[in-house]
Structure 1
Amino acid sequence: MGSIVQGFTKSLAMTFLSEIGDKTFFAAAILAMRYPRRLVLAGCLTALIVMTILSALVGMAAPNLISRKWTHHITTLLFFGFGLWSLWDGFREEGDSEELAEVEAELDSDLKKGGSTKENSKVEDEQKKQKRPFLTQFFSPIFLKAFSINFFGEWGDKSQLATIGLAADENPLGVILGGTVAQILCTTAAVIGGKSLASQISERIVALSGGILFIVFGIQSFLSPVEP
């Protein structure tokens, strides 16, 4: 089991490069342009932090179900696999704006189904604020929308599986702290910077950087002795 600092550093770098320019990053940026930023930020961050904690807990429990030798080898293979996957994505990237356009189209179709959701939610919020201002502020339909989009968007994602593997081989507390800090940085940048920032991010560079980082982690894990 590695130190908290080592787990924190690896998790911070891995999560940041995995999340910056990801679908959830674009979703947060677009939602922040249409709804109150504080609700979007709260919903997105809550979902991503909960997912980080759940993933780390699964990784922490893994050595109790499988021997530490096997979890170490599986984690090493995950790092190499995700590294090659990211490099492949970077080399075959057809256009940096494709994923942004895809997420925007999905959100647009969702808005059309809901009709004048934004206007209705404002009226409902004003009515409920008189009775439950605190709950209305943090558990509005906008909060739940941002939460659900990010939570289910992260489920089974490369960064989630990598967090599970990292927590199985490193200090889980360090992994949680590093992942949380990275999620706060990425999501806050998306919400504040908006679509303009999202459209300027080169997915190719991010994917290639992430791929190199994963492979470096894989090499380090391969060369590290298996702790009993």
Structure 2
Amino acid sequence: MLQAFTAGLLLITVSELGDKTFFIAFILAIKYSRKLVFSGVMAALVAMTVISVLVGQVVSLLPRSYIHYAAIILFIGFGLKLLHEASQMPNKSDRNEAQATAALLDRSQNRTSIGVLIEAFVLTFLAEWGDRTQIATITLAASNNSLGVTAGAILGHGICTAIAVVGGRLIAGRISERTVTAIGGCLFLIFAAVSLFENI
């Protein structure tokens, strides 16, 4: 369980720093209550994590050897994809995508608490659907302890969301998306190597 918890925590923390949902939380927190934004974003991320782990449990009904090698292939694929994306990125952090997403919404200055919560939840849930961290969580849950993966992933999301809401401006200004993406790619490759080594 500890291994699954650590894998979930590291995977989510590294992958989500600088991701779309990170900047969505950051941008919303500039205009609205940080507590409300944190609550709405975390509710969406917890819901997405639970869904991903449940899907992973269904996948786990397949023969274990299939799951094991599928996980290795997915980790290698994601790792190489992220490293390729990092090589194509400029060195500066690019927040335009998240800013454009937030700008599409016509928000009034006097937003109700429920309105802020719903906005944060919906934006985050839609941004995470089909994202690499969702697929990685499914893969981890299929081959590891589901409670450990769930707890680790939720804690990782909580750490990233707290950083985005409280100190997003400082982090975003000092850590480029390229660096974060490259670290995420390396982490996926490390997971692939560890999984392969364990099988040997």
- Please tell me whether residue 107 in structure 1 is matched to residue 102 in structure 2: yes
Specify the code of the residue in structure 1 equivalent to 2:183: S
Deviation string for 1:164-202 (max 9, x for gaps)? 001111111110011011111000110011434323321
In 2, the alpha carbon distance for the partners of 1:209 and 1:195 equals 20
User: Which of 70, 88, 93 is the matching residue for 1:92?
Assistant: 88
Aligned equivalent of 1:162: 136
Aligned equivalent of 1:68: 64
> Structure 1 runs of 4+ off > 4 angstroms?
none
- Please tell me whether residue 40 in structure 1 is matched to residue 37 in structure 2: yes
Identity %: 39
- Please tell me whether residue 118 in structure 1 is matched to residue 109 in structure 2: yes
Q: When the two structures are superposed, what TM-score results if normalisation uses the length of structure 2?
A: 0.94
* 5+ long unaligned stretches in structure 1: 126-136
Select the structure of larger CA radius of gyration.
Answer: 1
Deviation string for 1:88-127 (max 9, x for gaps)? 11111125333x122112212312xx5xx232x2xxx4xx
Aligned equivalent of 1:83: 79
Aligned equivalent of 1:201: 175
Aligned equivalent of 2:149: 175
Question: Alignment partner of 1:141: what SS?
Answer: helix
In 1, the alpha carbon distance for the partners of 2:96 and 2:179 equals 19
The answer to whether the 8 Å contact 1:32/1:194 transfers is no
Specify the code of the residue in structure 2 equivalent to 1:75: A
In 2, the alpha carbon distance for the partners of 1:79 and 1:108 equals 34
Aligned equivalent of 1:133: none
User: Which of 55, 59, 64 is the matching residue for 2:52?
Assistant: 55
In 1, the alpha carbon distance for the partners of 2:157 and 2:90 equals 26
In 1, the alpha carbon distance for the partners of 2:65 and 2:130 equals 24
The answer to whether the 8 Å contact 1:33/1:195 transfers is no
User: Which of 182, 186, 192 is the matching residue for 1:212?
Assistant: 186
Specify the code of the residue in structure 1 equivalent to 2:122: S
Deviation at 1:206, TM superposition (A): 1.1
Aligned equivalent of 1:128: none
In 2, the alpha carbon distance for the partners of 1:217 and 1:141 equals 40
Deviation string for 1:40-95 (max 9, x for gaps)? 0000011011111111111112122x211111111111110111011111111125
Q: When the two structures are superposed, what TM-score results if normalisation uses the length of structure 1?
A: 0.83
Deviation string for 1:150-173 (max 9, x for gaps)? 111000000100000011111111
In 2, the alpha carbon distance for the partners of 1:90 and 1:209 equals 9
Name the Cα RMSD after superposition.
1.5
